[in-house]
A and B are shown apart, each in its own frame.
Chain A
């Protein structure tokens, strides 16, 4: 069917080792891949799968101690491993370009943008300074930089993250490369910016007729952008195929598990979670590396080496699995929300007109620099047994709301009423007691645990502080907590650094449960975790909610996770709650233009889903130091009119919106609530 073009880049049995203080990690073991001119290859995998090491091996950018130890890297028919250093640098510098994950640190902080962008031209083509500058301006304009002739003389710290990523892309493109490698190019960016960047890469690929390797952990990003996909696990490619094939009918059990672990594909209100952890690559491994975590594994899988083999169907689909999936996996992209609807109608938590402001800069002596308006008049309720999700992009104030509700910071103004009591009116002792009701769960549990305390001390600490029970009772409670989060008793004698990310989140959850709180504020509790581990933690959180009748305020930037977890969702933008309502309605019938833009920007893991209409919001998030008057979104809103300079109130029944021109009217269903 396809024209049998010669692949531009072909990896043959590529193996890479990384020498560490203790032992060697075999990061890549006989990786085989190919990319053709003009196509996008998506490389997907969890952390430690080797996806980044693969592209770094190609680019010759391995970290110190890293070395390609076997195989071939064929670029345009030539093995890069055999080229002499100078030619190799030229090939990598001129014919390939790379975009990195973290735009904030990927640029030299003390070099002007123009000089950095044009450097490859100066070095490899001996272009004059003046011409290099002109070419830099030209390419910056091409990647959509506003006022490129001014920005060319700026320094990186003067630009936002999204803008810096555009600079990095411009830098890769100025050499008109034949291969562009993008390693998690949007992971550090907000979804709306992510969409802009991914679209840019797509457009540029067509314009420059490049091959693109898109490395990501996010199946959604791959589904929408790649022509073909390679799935990696534990240093190997386990499955490759066209995007449509692979997403519709994955064959490898790992790929299947990965897809079923996505919050979007939660079938019976429960996520499929892969048990265990990926293997330690510094040890010798035999057989299929996924076998220990695979429920279909047989002895055959554990003993013999399982190689990539072509699917008999003849569609170029390859996989390394002895017991492949036979039937297609459905990603519905519309999680049937388990409406655990709150039983009690009395609100457990009421937040009224919450305001939080910080002093800007001001170093002790003078504080006239202004105030940052982090949260500006936010009101919401959480009922007992209910989960309220709060979503928004970085800087919207969602974490601040969480910290104030959890009592870590005082509110500048407004009321926080827990169980009928305004916590501002409580005396010291009652406020101390209040912490039993509301607990916080952190994004990075490792940072939130004292590295010098053992797990038993960490779990006992809340009990000690609140003087609950005697030593024996506390010990019993700690054991009970460990059972609840599914960790062995041995964990008690260990220190936080001895646990993996997912285990640490369990311990973090156990600690926040210690005092039998009624409400847990979870601030991005799974953002740092891989999909499979994320599923474990999300399931655990839901199980415990049912078991203990907990309420959650679940804060996240990830709409699909919030959609899965929450009964109701609140959307924040620049310190304001712009929309709040039942999860299914907010996600599927958004009323605020910002919510809609946010939803459209989320990449869907369903390759069949039609690309969303171009509602992408333009421009940059305004400064919270001097936010726009009236509706704070109006400076970027496609629907904004003069009236938006006056502040729209949050209004409606169960699905409220703060907008003068809501996208939809609220469905009339007041009576159905019971």
Chain B
């Protein structure tokens, strides 16, 4: 090579390092991470510092206003401490959101990948199934399922996960179809490489970004679905709690002026959904190799 003295060399950096640099550049993504860490810390570590009874109701202490009697955020209609309940509800919302998002992503990825690679009639059949299920509005499907089985936390995860995989399935199938025809896969076949290697070395590493980005949006959607199910009366029954359920309970209380039962869970949901969206956008930048061109 004829390297001239004027040509400067950029320092050698690994893929992770470069990715991190891009992620950090997206300030909203950092905000998203911060919000998530704060809310997760609040929900999971909070109860260790701030002890409340979230099992037994206390009818002597209903609708206490914030600040009264050692309840910084007041109490609800059956006497639970609202701040403690927010922590408990956060656990459910975050756990269900993450688990259902993960389940949907895994199922969808496997389904979409098989359809994309098998092609021909297998693909046609598998994708028509996805089309059919997708044409049933998700909430109707969730409620139908929730009316058949009793919604517990694991059940919610399964119900949401079992129907939210359709989006990722379509996405991954599309990725598989395009990646399969990429020139670098062709180049590999020209060296005598087989299909398995194409999948392992070329297709998965390139599709994984899309899958991960989509997974963060799946988590956000799952958290919203839990809220909707709770609002429609099919959430987890008490004494368990989730932000969506607290929010819908709070709806009926607002007209009596119990604002502290409405806004904190509402804001918490908005924040966590926003957080995952920000993180998703940041990750999208990371996996966009184009953005790394100097």
Contacts and interface: CB of A to CB of B under 8 A. Distances in A.
* A and B touch in their complex, CB below 8 angstroms: yes
Interface in A522-536: 536
Interface string B245-279: 00000000000000000000000000000000000
Most chain A beta carbons < 10 A, residue from B5, B7, B183: B183
A155 interface: no
A449 interface: yes
Contacts of B182: 447
B12 interface: yes
A443 to B, nearest CB: 9
Given A442-B183, A450-B205, A465 B2 contact: no
B12 A466 contact: no
Interface string A490-512: 10011101100001001000010
Interface in B3-44: 3-7, 9-10, 12, 15
B187 A448 contact: yes
Contacts of B120: 364
B187 A493 contact: no
A664 interface: no
B289 interface: yes
A364 B120 CA distance: 6
B186 A408 contact: yes
Interface stretch (B91-99, B138-146, B190-198): B190-198
A440 B190 contact: yes
A118 to B, nearest CB: 39
Given A277-B7, A488-B3, A439 B12 contact: no
A407 interface: yes
Contacts, number: 100
Contact of A452 (B10, B191, B206, B293): B206
A462 interface: yes
A279 B9 CA distance: 13
B180 interface: no
Most chain A beta carbons < 10 A, residue from B6, B7, B186, B192: B192
A275 B205 CA distance: 36
A292 B3 CA distance: 10
A664 B113 CA distance: 58
A449 B184 contact: yes
Contacts of A536: 2
Contacts of B9: 490
Contacts of B293: 497
Contact of B192 (A276, A277, A435, A452): A435
B188 interface: yes
A648 to B, nearest CB: 34
Contacts of A447: 182-184
B1 interface: yes
Nearest to A463: B191
Contact of B6 (A279, A440, A442, A461): A279
A450 B10 contact: no
Contacts of A475: none
Given A275-B2, A452-B205, A497-B292, A490 B192 contact: no
A38 B229 CA distance: 75
A450 B184 contact: yes
Contact of A450 (B2, B121, B191, B206): B206
A435 B190 contact: yes
A660 interface: no
Interface in A403-459: 403, 406-408, 431-436, 439-440, 442, 444, 447-454
A432 B184 CA distance: 18
Interface in B178-229: 182-184, 186-193, 197, 201-202, 205-206
B12 A461 contact: no
B103 to A, nearest CB: 26
B205 A435 contact: no
B168 to A, nearest CB: 20
A444 B184 CA distance: 10
Interface string B277-294: 000000000000110111
A487 interface: yes
A486 interface: yes
A496 to B, nearest CB: 9
Contacts of A466: 191-192
Contacts of A365: 124
A315 to B, nearest CB: 34
Contact of A440 (B7, B124, B187, B289): B187
Contacts of A433: 192
A122 interface: no
A435 B188 CA distance: 10
Contacts of B193: 461, 465
B2 A486 contact: yes
A276 B7 contact: yes
Contact of B294 (A439, A487, A488, A498): A498
A432 B195 CA distance: 13
Contacts of B289: 451-452, 495, 497
Contacts of B15: 452, 454, 495
Contacts of B192: 407, 431-436, 465-466
Nearest to B294: A498
A461 B201 contact: yes
B268 to A, nearest CB: 35
Contacts of A494: 12
A403 B187 CA distance: 10
A650 interface: no
Contacts of B7: 276-277, 292
Contacts of B290: 497
A449 B190 contact: no
Contact of A515 (B4, B191, B201): B191
Contact of A449 (B6, B12, B187, B201): B187
Interface in B59-77: none
B190 A408 contact: yes
B202 to A, nearest CB: 5
A293 interface: yes
Interface of B: 1-7, 9-10, 12, 15, 120-121, 124, 182-184, 186-193, 197, 201-202, 205-206, 289-290, 292-294
Interface of A: 275-277, 279, 292-293, 364-365, 403, 406-408, 431-436, 439-440, 442, 444, 447-454, 461-462, 465-466, 486-488, 490, 493-495, 497-498, 503, 506, 511, 515, 536
Which A-B residue pairs are the 6 nearest by beta carbons?
Answer: A435-B192, A275-B2, A276-B4, A462-B191, A448-B183, A292-B6
22 contacts: A275-B2, A276-B6, A364-B121, A406-B190, A407-B192, A439-B190, A447-B184, A448-B186, A452-B15, A453-B201, A454-B15, A461-B188, A461-B191, A465-B197, A466-B192, A487-B1, A494-B12, A497-B290, A497-B292, A498-B10, A515-B191, A536-B2
